[in-house]
Amino acid sequence: MNNNRRMFLKQGGIAVASFGLLGGAPSFMQRAVMSQGLTKQGRRKTLIAIFQRGAVDGLNMIVPHGDADYYNLRPTIAIAKPVSRASGVIVNPNNTDAALDLDGFFGLHPSLAPLQPYFAQKRMAIVHAAGSPDATRSHFDAQDYMESGTPGVKSTRDGWLNRVMQTDKEGHTLFRAVAMSQTLPRSLQGRAEALAISNLRDFTIRAGANSARVQGGFESLYEETTSDVLTGTGRDTFEAVNYLKRVNPAQYKAQNGARYPNGKFGESLLQIAQLVKSDVGLEVAFAETGGWDTHVNQGGARGQLAIRLSEFAQGIAALATDLGDRMDDVVILTMSEFGRTARENGTRGTDHGHANAMLVIGNGVRGGKVYGDWQGLASDKLHEGRDLALTTDFRNVFGEIATRHLGVRDMRSVFPGFEIQAKNFRGVLG
């Protein structure tokens, strides 16, 4: 056995393993396999959380075209009124850059057209004016507060999704919670097992802290090693990772005519669909997409925001299409750390704001409705005179999905210092 292989084994497990598998530490991988193994796989309720990092402009994503102040505040970047409204009045009949009407007051950005059928079929709900009660305008702090689930508290050690998993510790697989990322996101950090998988199609192995590549592949390392290091935990770890290999990720083909966008985001969603359909016991999946910090030349119906929204919508629509009737057991939830200013700035962009919009998609969703209390965009209704006012605490959205979809019975430990009560849920799930 060569030096690289010895170094790999002396690390005590997989530091950066097959498929780009990361967990933060070899002992983490050991605990995951030892405590759970791969014994109880199968179809489960799954939450797919998608984080729009950088603070998407919720007012141009879900357009309040029925609020006249929206157009007063955004003379160059506002999305035009819809071609048709729920009332039947025809407006801008030849304008393909107009908002796509939802209910006569709100509409989708035209780049979100792939998601319009899900709203019409009542499989997509929107919660507007939602977010964190903390008023920070720091990306770092706001993301930390949303992922930890404790707004204004920096000392929280674990993430809200990890605490959800901590409420039920029995009968889960190594692949219970997976983030399609290089490192484990804040929301999945904690005592419960979770994995960060950069790419299911990467079958190389790297060894130790210096990431020296081990030649010969996973099987050759497994077969040639006679050390007792590979008994028990080590052997289980190999078997766990090889289980994913048997799923054959390189040969996976999307179904039902789904077409994912090119790039990391589309690839992440495609691989989440593969994990769901492979029945590896996936309960929580996490993906992220960036590029939403549009201070300059944001654009309206076209431009940099429109490009990002197009990829976002295409990816989610492809995921839902690919999963097909699996969406009976899946909820897709989108979030962003805060919104953007109601008024466009001097460089035709928007600055850091407050409340935002969240999307909830699934066959069990009570869709076809924009939920939340809309205070309006008049100057005396704006938060600090500049932002959309918050009327739904994001923890109530998270809490509703955790209880009504994932089946968490005791929420007291999930959001410390915040009481989750069903009366405060918006009703996006029946």
* 8 Å CB contact between 78 and 316: no
Residue 421 predicted with pLDDT over 50: yes
DSSP β-bridge partners for residue 196: 22, 179
Query: What CATH number is given to the structural domain containing 62?
Result: 3.40.720
pLDDT of residue 250: 75
Does the residue 95 lie in any domain?
yes
Statement to judge: residues 223 and 155 lie in one domain: no
| 371 or 211: which leads in pLDDT | 371
Taking residues 118-139, report their average pLDDT: 98
Statement to judge: residues 106 and 21 lie in one domain: no
Statement to judge: residues 303 and 414 lie in one domain: yes
DSSP character for 161?
H
Spatial CB neighbours of 275, under 8 Å, sequence gap ≥ 6: 175, 178, 200, 282, 285
Least confident among 12-21, 114-123, 165-174, 291-300:
12-21
> What pLDDT band is residue 95 in, cutting at 50, 70 and 90?
confident
pLDDT of residue 153: 97
pLDDT of residue 410: 93
Does the residue 133 lie in any domain?
yes
pLDDT of residue 140: 98
Statement to judge: residues 194 and 289 lie in one domain: yes
Does the residue 4 lie in any domain?
yes
Does the residue 2 lie in any domain?
yes
Does the residue 296 lie in any domain?
yes
> What pLDDT band is residue 173 in, cutting at 50, 70 and 90?
confident
Least confident among 21-25, 332-336, 377-381:
21-25
Helices 217-224 and 233-246 sit at what angle, rounded to 10 degrees? 150
pLDDT in tens, 225-266: 434 344 444 454 555 566 666 667 778 899 999 999 999 999
Statement to judge: residues 171 and 262 lie in one domain: yes
Does the residue 429 lie in any domain?
no
Statement to judge: residues 30 and 128 lie in one domain: no
Taking residues 18-41, report their average pLDDT: 39
Residue 425 identity (one-letter amino acid): F
Does the residue 430 lie in any domain?
no
Statement to judge: residues 45 and 25 lie in one domain: no
Residue 45 predicted with pLDDT over 80: yes
> What pLDDT band is residue 11 in, cutting at 50, 70 and 90?
very low
pLDDT of residue 107: 98
| 395 or 207: which leads in pLDDT | 395
Statement to judge: residues 86 and 20 lie in one domain: no
Statement to judge: residues 227 and 288 lie in one domain: no
Please identify, among 213, 246, 279, the residue that sits at the C-terminal boundary of a domain.
246
* 8 Å CB contact between 6 and 212: no
Statement to judge: residues 205 and 84 lie in one domain: no
Phi, psi of 318, deg, nearest 5:
-65, -40
Please identify, among 190, 222, 246, the residue that sits at the C-terminal boundary of a domain.
246
- Tokens 């600090």 correspond to 384
Q: Count up the domains in the chain and report the number.
A: 2
Statement to judge: residues 108 and 161 lie in one domain: yes
Please identify, among 246, 281, 304, the residue that sits at the C-terminal boundary of a domain.
246
* 8 Å CB contact between 164 and 406: yes
pLDDT of residue 174: 82
Statement to judge: residues 146 and 232 lie in one domain: no
> What pLDDT band is residue 219 in, cutting at 50, 70 and 90?
very low
Residue 8 predicted with pLDDT over 70: no
Spatial CB neighbours of 395, under 8 Å, sequence gap ≥ 6: 149, 151, 160, 415, 418, 420
Least confident among 92-96, 134-138, 222-226:
222-226
Does the residue 135 lie in any domain?
yes
Taking residues 319-327, report their average pLDDT: 98
Least confident among 32-41, 62-71, 73-82, 323-332:
32-41
According to DSSP, the β-strands at 205-207 and 195-197 are unpaired
Domain hosting residue 410, numbered range: 40-200+255-424
Among the listed residues 300, 370, 324, the one whose alpha carbon sits nearest the alpha carbon of residue 73: 300
Residue 79 predicted with pLDDT over 80: yes
Among the listed residues 11, 20, 2, the one whose alpha carbon sits nearest the alpha carbon of residue 204: 20
CA 127 to CA 333: how far, in whole Å? 11
